Amino acid sequence: MSTDIDYKKVGERLQNFREVRGLTRAVVAQRLGINEKDLEDMEKGEKKLSSENIEVLRETFSLDPAWLLGGQNL
């Protein structure tokens, strides 16, 4: 099993999660303490989410980090 993280897939899952929940980039970016452009870059897989970002997503939106990073626990 590979431990490499596909950040493009992570970004796609993050964007899908945000859209399904009806959240705007502005709302999620504000909660993460980043700007909307950085969030957009994360959703495109051009920028990595920090461990702090992942923890905020888990705490604030109940997003499962295992699913976000690897598509596990669907």
Q: List per-block mean pLDDT (blocks of 10 residues) for the chain, which spans 74 residues.
A: 80 97 97 98 96 96 94 68
Return the residue matching tokens 């796609």.
Answer: 12
Give how far Cα 73 sits from Cα of 28, 66, 68, 69, 70, Å: 22, 7, 9, 11, 9
Q: What does the pLDDT read at residue 1?
A: 45
Domains of the chain: which residue ranges?
A: 7-61
Residue range 31-51, pLDDT digits in tens:
999 999 999 999 999 999 999
Using alpha carbons, select from 61, 62, 24 the residue that is nearest to residue 40: 24
Strands (DSSP E) contained in the chain are none
Q: What does the pLDDT read at residue 3?
A: 62
Return the residue matching tokens 């504000």.
Answer: 30
CATH number for the domain running over 7-61: 1.10.260.40
